[in-house]
Amino acid sequence: MLIEKKEQEIVSRAQDNPVSFAPLYDYYFPKIYNYIYNKVNNSQLAEDLVSETFYKALANIKKFQWQDRSFACWLYTIARNQVIDQFRKRDPILFDNNNTALTAQTEKGPEEKVIRDVTREELFKAIRTLSPDQQDALLLRYQEDLKIKEIAVILGKNEGAVKALLFRGLRSLRKKLKGGDFNAAI
């Protein structure tokens, strides 16, 4: 996250003059794209939803108030609602077969000793079998690096509930990944 005070200044500037929205866009664009892409797993759809998210954020930035939530929470909430609306519309989501959207490589580390040879596609495929709230909790915590408190604000739950979501989500993932039979699990 941006340093809160600095972020407040930038948001305040953007509220006064929307042209100053650019630094917020630059900073949050990759994060919002990653979050939405992980939810929908389709680059075309992700681009549409990211566009909608930023259009809405820009249109409503004057209404945003620093109270009990940060700008990041507010923005992720918009993004999450876009995804929810998309699923509500029941539009068929076409999943990308080739992960051309991925450019970085996973580093090998000791963490992979229990769950070996899990590709990104397999991991996120498994995540998408979890409940929507578990998905959001896991993605926001471990991909977007948000704090539990922030996730609680975005999901509209208390911190204890978010911890429970994380715990149950991780346990479900372990079960699916440890079995190694992802397709059967999905």
Residue 85 CB, shortest distance to other proteins, in Å, is: 19
Query: In Å, how far are 74, 99, 100, 101, 119 from 104, measured between CA atoms?
Result: 28, 11, 11, 9, 13
Residue 33 CB, shortest distance to other proteins, in Å, is: 5
Contact 144, 34 (CB under 8 A): yes
Per-residue binder mask for other proteins (CB under 8 A), 102-131, x = binder: xxxxxx-x-xxxxx--x-x--xx--x----
Residue 185 contacts other proteins per CB under 8 A? no
Residue 19 contacts other proteins per CB under 8 A? yes
Residue 33 contacts other proteins per CB under 8 A? yes
Q: Which stretch binds other proteins (CB under 8 A): 46-54, 63-71, 73-81, 84-92?
A: 46-54
One-letter amino acid at 32 equals I
Residue 87 CB, shortest distance to other proteins, in Å, is: 18
Backbone Cα Rg of the chain: 17
DSSP class of residue 107 equals P
Residue 55 contacts other proteins per CB under 8 A? yes
Cβ burial 63-84 (10 Å sphere, 16+ → b, else e): ebeeeebbbbbbbbbbbbebbe
Q: Which two tokens stand for residue 135?
A: 């998905």
Cα–Cα distance, 2 to 144 (Å, whole number): 13
Give contact residues for other proteins (rule: CB under 8 A). Answer: 1-3, 6-7, 10, 18-23, 25-27, 29-30, 33-34, 37-38, 43, 46-47, 50-51, 54-55, 58, 99, 101-107, 109, 111-115, 118, 120, 123-124, 127, 138, 141-143, 145, 148, 163-164, 166-167, 170-171, 173-174, 177-178
